[in-house]
Every structure is written in C-alpha cells, then in structure tokens.
Amino acid sequence: MNYTRAASASPERIFSMKKLLLVATILLTGFFARAQETLAFPFQGGKDVMSKFFKDSVIVSPQLISRRATGTAVFKFTADESGVIKKIIIYYADDITLTQPLIAALKKSNKKWIIPDHEKAHDFIIPFNITFVPPATPPNGLAKAVYNFYTHRKPVISFDQVPLDMATLLPTVSINYELGQ
C-alpha cells in the first residue's frame, strides 16, 4: 500500500478544505450564538396595556391617602406557562403599607403574563412608584404630612443575597393618586 499519496494532498485541495471548514465554522457559530433573543413583551397587549392595567387595578387605600404616602416598591414574581403568578417576593419597599395594594394588583394580573418558549416558569422584576398628584394650592399641613410619612415609614430591605437568576426587568409602573378633600 502506498500511504504517501494520501498524506501528501495538493496545496490547492488543502486550501479549499480550510476555506470550507472556515465557512462551516462561521455558519454554525452564527446559528448557535445569538447575541440577544427577541422576545415579545411579557404582558398580553404590551407595555402600555400593562401600565394602564396596573394604574386601573391599584386601589390606594384611604389610610395611604390620609398619610400622604409616596414611595417605591420592587417585586420579583414567578409566572408559569399559563401566565399564573406562583410566588411574589418583595425586594424593596419604602414602606410596608405601600406593598398591600400592589400585591393585590399583581394577583389580579393572573393569566396575563407570557413567558419565553420552552420554559415552565419565568421570573419578572417589576418596580412601582406611588405618589400623589400635587394640588394647585397645597392645603395647610401638606408638607408636614409628607415629612411625617417619610420619617415614620417602615422600609422593607433585603439584608441577604437576592438571587436574580434569569429574571426579566419590566419598566417602572407609576401610580398617581388624588389627595381628595
């Protein structure tokens, strides 16, 4: 048997095999390495529908209104493949009383969440901002009431590690309420 013929391939053949291998590598890399997967917005109807849903669903209690409560709350929740919320975790809240109407609104959003394909459940992080609409002429004591709420608030703060895993950060939902009389 003559093995020298197989071992000594022509330079043109080696060059064309290298080109073929390079093109195949580029194609496979482009196919398997996606920089970012395009996902639809995870709430049925999109971002604007989600914001309107929460603005309509959050019911600010008379106690929060009388205290002139304002602040931020950040939640992490898990939705399953049918869009049902399985668990809600408070990551941060300026005051624990702000979380009650927000959790109630989150529970109303069952079956409205869309998770990525091939997942059984997905985590979302959603920040809320609650504030009142300032009146044209502030009533007496408004500044004092706001200051009083701020100094007596009971924040929820995480002191331990907070695992984020593969969570999707949603846009902040701003809730504005009227002070009334």
Sign, CA dihedral 55-60-66-71, equals negative
Mean pLDDT throughout 87-104? Answer: 95
pLDDT surpasses 60 at 164: yes
The reply to whether 129 falls in a domain is yes
Contact status, residue 154 vs residue 89, Cβ threshold 8 Å: no
Tell me the per-residue pLDDT of 40-60, one tens digit each, with 9 for 90 and over.
Answer: 789 999 999 999 999 999 999
State how far Cα 154 lies from the chain centre. 24
| Structure-token match 């399953």, residue found | 80
**Which SS3 state, helix, strand or coil, does residue 21 take?**
helix
pLDDT surpasses 60 at 1: no
The reply to whether 13 falls in a domain is no
Whole-angstrom Cα distance, residue 99 to residue 128? 9
Whole-angstrom Cα distance, residue 141 to residue 144? 5
Contact status, residue 128 vs residue 95, Cβ threshold 8 Å: no
Range of the domain at 148: 47-177
pLDDT at position 118 is 85
pLDDT surpasses 60 at 128: yes
The reply to whether 39 falls in a domain is no
pLDDT surpasses 70 at 77: yes
What pTM does this model have? 0.75
Contact status, residue 90 vs residue 99, Cβ threshold 8 Å: yes
Whole-angstrom Cα distance, residue 162 to residue 125? 12
pLDDT at position 35 is 43
The reply to whether 115 falls in a domain is yes
The reply to whether 35 falls in a domain is no
Contact status, residue 97 vs residue 52, Cβ threshold 8 Å: no
The reply to whether 32 falls in a domain is no
Among 21-25, 115-119, 125-129, which stretch is predicted with the lowest mean pLDDT?
21-25
The reply to whether 64 falls in a domain is yes
Highest mean pLDDT among 123-127, 135-139, 161-165: 123-127
Angle CA(151)–CA(146)–CA(56) in degrees, nearest 5?
A: 115
Q: Number of structural domains, the chain? A: 1
Helices (H), 36-110: 47-57, 62-67, 96-108
The reply to whether 14 falls in a domain is no
